[in-house]
Structure 1
Amino acid sequence: MTTETREERNTPAGWTAHLELVAAILSGVLILIAWLIGKSGDETLSITFYIIAFLIGGFAKAKEGIEETIAEKQLNVEMLMVFAAIGSAIIGYWAEGAILIFIFAISGALETYTLNKSHKEISALMEMQPEEAWLLQEDGSTVSVSISSLSVGAKLVVKPGERIPVDGEIIQGTTSIDMSAINGESVPVTRGVSDELFAGTMNISGAIQMEMTKPSTDTLFQKIITLVQNAQNETSPSQQFIEKFEGTYVKIVLFTVFIMMFLPHFIFDWDWTTTFYRAIVLLVVASPCALVASIMPATLAAVSNGAKRGILFKGGVHLEELGSLKAIAFDKTGTLTTGKPVVTDFHVRKGADSEKTLSILSSIEAQSNHPLATAIVAYAEGQGVITRESPQIEDVPGYGLRATVENKEILVGNPRFVGETETADFHDGIIDKLYGEGKTVVFMKDDLGIVATIALKDTLRPEAIQAIKDLSALGIQSIMLTGDNEQTANAIATEAGLDRYVSECLPEMKVNHLKELLKEYGAVGMVGDGINDAPALATATSGIAMGEGTDVALETADVILMQNDLTRISYAVKVSKKMQRIIKQNVFFSVAVIAVLIISNFMQVVDLPLGVIGHEGSTILVILNGLRLLNKVS
């Protein structure tokens, strides 16, 4: 039994689920009373109770069936059940008709519960979004304000046991954060100054101060809610086919039942009561209730499963396509790698003071906002080196920086800027080794020649290697598309364990390469995070975006990894494959049951009560089978 919030119980969907279940149970009680009265000999009173059971148990489904028939101008499964129940009553089979309504009502309540089970994930998420926050005043005091009134840059206080109200970063304090609302992981993570925070996550241990970095309407948490809501409203191709098939099938069943009401009387010499009775049984057992329920509950359960674990599917169609992927192409920077270069090597010429050299280098780089410059300054700070006063610099685009330090000219940049011959000879040609490792090399030159070299590398995400292994175990090829040079691309591909790579690949070339991969493999995914990845994400069979990627990438992609965890890709593929297996099981089982019951009816070995149990029982079983997708997939 699941617990529900007060808000959840008060929603229309919550009331519908409760009312359907109550009506079904009440009709069952009335049927039992009617049967007991009938046993005592009062047939009129017994029929009266059966009629009440009909009305109470069948009202919801009959209303739904009539409204859909009027709106869509075609009959549906619900109307078949109504006709079958009325037909049973006409020929005097009150108990059988009432049992049909009872089980059909129970099945309908269970299906409503299944749909609501998925929507409850949204309700639970929305409850995790705080409505108020503690705004930090200039005098150090705090005041409670509505989150909607906050703007970017606002400074907030979050106390232990409170949820993070908005996306932002810590400006004071250290704490443990429960990130399960975002990525499904129950193990708390430690967060300190400058670390990123997400709305909806729980502050566990320490009081912290944070600065708001995104509008409350644009938080990662709000995006999760919106995307999952959209996914639940989008039907998969399989579901669309079933819905189209249902109308035609219902017409065929009604036509066959009409023929059945007369033909067996003349061909098999059945009496009219038997003929009409068998037609009613056929109307029940041939109804495609189980077939119709084979897909939607399973799809919604799979969408909820992904949402719990930081994987957002934008609809059933994208969820289905993931399971068919034969290859996945990856962007490099910000996807396979962190997108933040770090210093890996620092060498100075013989006799030079390493600390003084690094101090001068960092003081020059501190004047630039280039990612490499930022990484060098951070390295110097990490080494405890004090940055000198800001020297005068000249930025030479594409080459480096020219600075004047202690009346001496200092050049910092690439080999073309400082001298290719000198850089090739520095430290016994160490540049070749560094380039071979896929690193970016920056040189520093003074009036005596090359004084130092510093190498940087955009490091692989910690989980990238495991993610590639997991995909390989599923039989999926991994290809990297990157704009980097051949040496860097080869080094990253080797380190990550990729099957293939394409270097010096511009955005427009990524699309062309992806089209070639689609011809080769048939179904190909694309993983990226930047604006330049959007065309390729749109071209791929399944576009997969990193949660911290650009808005363009997030809007273009079909699947979003909220915590940039590449290992979630293989999990998403497993969910898709399991969903496809369960749907196939459901479809095969429901069709088989219908076939067996129809044949048994013609052989007169199945009566109406057994037909009802077989038909509605199969519907309940396929729904329960679909609900297995709510569990973690291994």
Structure 2
Amino acid sequence: MEGIKQQDSPSILSRLKPHIELIAALFSGVLILFAWFFGIGEESSLSITLYLAAFLIGGFAQAKEGILNTIHRRELNVELLMIFAAIGSSVIGYWAEGAILIFIFSLSGALETYTMNKSKKELSSLMNLQPEEAWLLDANGQSNRVLVNTLEIGNRLLVKPGDRIPVDGVIVTGSTSIDEAAISGESIPVSKHAGDELFAGTVNLNGVLTIEMTKSSSESLVQKIIELVQSAQSEKSPSQQFIERFEGKYVKIVLITVGLMMFLPHYIFDWDWTTTFYRAMVLLVVASPCALVASIMPATLAAISNGAKNGLLFKGGVHLENIGNMKAIALDKTGTLTQGKPLVTDFIVRDGLDEQAVLTSLASIESQSTHPLAQAITSFAITKGVKTFPITKMEDIPGWGIKADIDLKEWKVGKPRFVGYDEAMSFSNDVALHLENEGKTVIFAADQDGIIAVLALKDTVRPESKEAISLLRKAGIYTIMLTGDNERTAKVIAEEAGVDHYIAECLPETKVTHMKDLLAKYGNVGMVGDGINDAPALATATLGIAMGQGTDVALETADVVLMKDDLSRITYAIHLSRKMNRVVKQNVIFSISIIVLLIFSNFFQIINLPLGVIGHEGSTILVILNGLRLLKIK
């Protein structure tokens, strides 16, 4: 039993450690309640001791942060000002007021720290995307498994079916289909042949390849994605930089003013020293920014909670603030505007043939393949009530299609040039050309008598996408689709979804370039995506928005997550943000007005310390209540 306890203790401590600041703040609040109870009527030694304990426990983290930041940046900060204000209250005998100041400020700081910890971006999914090992071919054509970081440009590698491409390179021998979804976001695999370029992290679906390494592993496209995300995340927002500059100036002004207040009135207005010191301490209390801090945090947390109840996960208040000021939004195509997987949209058979019989034979062939298009065709056949039968003789031709024998007849299923280009393109009044112009992928089935059937597949637009785009445009947001698709497919999807503009053939690097162009033009730009390839653009945008069913790295990189994959929630987020921004402005104006009023009232000796604390803490309570209204809005 003792052994078990020794193992469990570190686990409990490790779970509590990230929340220790919040626990300390809440515990200090409990101590204040006990101190107030024991000090009713007249403060006792016990109540003062409890207040002092609340000071130390609640204020430790903020005092430590304030002192370390002051030493590191050589700049005074609000944390120190709050500690000075609390100490000043205690010096003139107002222990409760000082403790409450510490409690409110430490609680807001703890909640802010907790929120920031929740929004840390993890790159583990990206790190795991690039294989650590590869099959290196020697001069005799023998393969040896080696670490990727030991490879050099010019090395030749063997890539087996199902393996991830280990490095950026070109195909020397072999043909295959490559799943490039991790890089381009395109759901339909791309055929690759000798001389074609390959990217690390993409998947070789069926062919055996020999490739030549063209870039070092540190310069691969996947590595660039990682660096782009890290770079974008390290940049501070303009509002954060402004707050930091304002904080130092505010503290300096208050401390200088309090310092002057401690002796100038004695000589200028002939105040006695007791009054002079008393008024300086009142100034230190009423000038402390409790109400100003409370103007933002409770409103922000209330809005974040409201969003969570409505399918929106905000990773911090700054992101909630930004979305309300958004001028344009870029959306990934695959998995965001579209379903993210191909579906059969058209099925046309040769005149005189039974459609169900043709589909049965075709599905029986495709059911033997793991290719995404084959799986889509098989799923389509199942919905039509087709039952497949075993194929005894079949050959998969990587990058082209499939050969199979059915009833002593050879079937070919695949691209036009595989089944007979001229016959394929002229079949049924050039129907293939019309289908391709609609942005669809066309597959042909043929036997020795010619084309048997044509199937068209397409990654279809989500039903809710059109409505969501329409709502965004009504909200005054300019919409842009970024996709790795070719120009023709991109144009069709863009028109169907109703976006204002589209940019085709985007790799992760070019998405970032386009995003920077949009930022230069519109200032505040959002990005919606779901894949690893979207991560750099999500991090570069003012606001990254990820689909809830997206990849881990997209979810971790994004600032906002649509938990129900509902794009219309973006419009709700904009409404919630604009409402929050109005409430925050109301609170800030009100709190600053009260601080200014209390400062002037103190200067003219209209108020005393208890009244100053009532005005100060009363304004704090009012702005908190005003912020909590955001919990109820719809």
> TM-score normalised by the shorter chain: which range applies?
0.5 to 0.7
Q: Residues 344 and 455 of structure 1 are in contact (CA less than 8 Å); yes or no, is this contact kept in structure 2?
A: yes
The answer for the alignment partner of 1:24 in structure 2 is 32
CA distance in 1, matches of 2:533, 2:386: 37
Q: Residues 28 and 58 of structure 2 are in contact (CA less than 8 Å); yes or no, is this contact kept in structure 1?
A: no
Q: How does 1:391-470 map to 2 (within 5 A)?
A: 391-470=392-471
Unaligned runs of 5+ in 1: 1-6, 35-48, 90-96, 123-233
Q: Residues 310 and 563 of structure 1 are in contact (CA less than 8 Å); yes or no, is this contact kept in structure 2?
A: yes
Q: Residues 511 and 535 of structure 1 are in contact (CA less than 8 Å); yes or no, is this contact kept in structure 2?
A: yes
Structure 2 residue 512 is the aligned partner of structure 1 residue 511? yes
The answer for the alignment partner of 1:497 in structure 2 is 498
| Larger mean Cα displacement after TM superposition, 444-453 or 310-319 | 310-319
Q: Label 1:617 to 1:106 Cα distance change in 2 as closer, same or farther (>3 A).
A: farther
Q: Residues 242 and 292 of structure 1 are in contact (CA less than 8 Å); yes or no, is this contact kept in structure 2?
A: no
Q: Residues 104 and 290 of structure 2 are in contact (CA less than 8 Å); yes or no, is this contact kept in structure 1?
A: no
CA distance in 1, matches of 2:38, 2:579: 41
Q: Residues 365 and 404 of structure 2 are in contact (CA less than 8 Å); yes or no, is this contact kept in structure 1?
A: yes
Q: How does 1:138-177 map to 2 (within 5 A)?
A: none
Alignment-mate amino acid for residue 512 of structure 1: T
CA distance in 2, matches of 1:577, 1:513: 27
Q: Label 1:117 to 1:633 Cα distance change in 2 as closer, same or farther (>3 A).
A: farther
Q: Percent sequence identity over matched residues?
A: 56
Structure 2 residue 84 is the aligned partner of structure 1 residue 80? yes
TM-score computed with the length of structure 1 as normaliser: 0.68
Q: How does 1:597-616 map to 2 (within 5 A)?
A: 597-616=598-617
The answer for the alignment partner of 2:50 in structure 1 is 56
| Cα displacement string for residues 117-147 of structure 1 (whole angstroms, at most 9, x for unaligned residues) | 989x99xxxxxxxxxxxxxxxxxxxxxxxxx
The answer for the alignment partner of 1:210 in structure 2 is none
The answer for the alignment partner of 2:262 in structure 1 is 261
Q: Label 1:615 to 1:237 Cα distance change in 2 as closer, same or farther (>3 A).
A: farther
Q: Residues 312 and 569 of structure 2 are in contact (CA less than 8 Å); yes or no, is this contact kept in structure 1?
A: yes
The answer for the alignment partner of 2:482 in structure 1 is 481
The answer for the alignment partner of 2:41 in structure 1 is 33
Indicate the SS of the match to 1:291.
helix
Q: Residues 115 and 315 of structure 2 are in contact (CA less than 8 Å); yes or no, is this contact kept in structure 1?
A: no
Q: CA deviation at 1:112?
A: 8.5
The answer for the alignment partner of 1:100 in structure 2 is 97
CA distance in 1, matches of 2:360, 2:115: 57
Indicate the SS of the match to 1:80.
helix
The answer for the alignment partner of 2:283 in structure 1 is 282
Q: How does 1:587-602 map to 2 (within 5 A)?
A: 587-602=588-603
CA distance in 2, matches of 1:339, 1:107: 47
Q: Label 1:252 to 1:503 Cα distance change in 2 as closer, same or farther (>3 A).
A: closer
Indicate the SS of the match to 2:424.
helix
CA distance in 1, matches of 2:616, 2:538: 44
Indicate the SS of the match to 1:33.
coil
Q: Residues 510 and 536 of structure 1 are in contact (CA less than 8 Å); yes or no, is this contact kept in structure 2?
A: yes
Q: Label 1:253 to 1:14 Cα distance change in 2 as closer, same or farther (>3 A).
A: closer
CA distance in 2, matches of 1:63, 1:608: 25
Q: Residues 53 and 98 of structure 1 are in contact (CA less than 8 Å); yes or no, is this contact kept in structure 2?
A: no
| Larger mean Cα displacement after TM superposition, 352-361 or 234-243 | 234-243
Q: Residues 82 and 101 of structure 2 are in contact (CA less than 8 Å); yes or no, is this contact kept in structure 1?
A: no
Alignment-mate amino acid for residue 334 of structure 2: T
Q: Label 1:298 to 1:410 Cα distance change in 2 as closer, same or farther (>3 A).
A: same
Alignment-mate amino acid for residue 402 of structure 1: K
| Larger mean Cα displacement after TM superposition, 574-583 or 480-489 | 574-583
CA distance in 2, matches of 1:104, 1:608: 14
Q: Label 1:61 to 1:462 Cα distance change in 2 as closer, same or farther (>3 A).
A: farther
The answer for the alignment partner of 2:569 in structure 1 is 568
Q: CA deviation at 1:394?
A: 3.2
Question: What is the RMSD computed on CA atoms of the aligned residues?
Answer: 3.7
Q: Label 1:505 to 1:287 Cα distance change in 2 as closer, same or farther (>3 A).
A: closer
Q: Label 1:291 to 1:472 Cα distance change in 2 as closer, same or farther (>3 A).
A: same
Unaligned runs of 5+ in 2: 1-14, 71-75, 120-234
Q: Label 1:556 to 1:421 Cα distance change in 2 as closer, same or farther (>3 A).
A: same
CA distance in 1, matches of 2:20, 2:387: 64
Indicate the SS of the match to 1:443.
strand
Q: CA deviation at 1:605?
A: 2.3
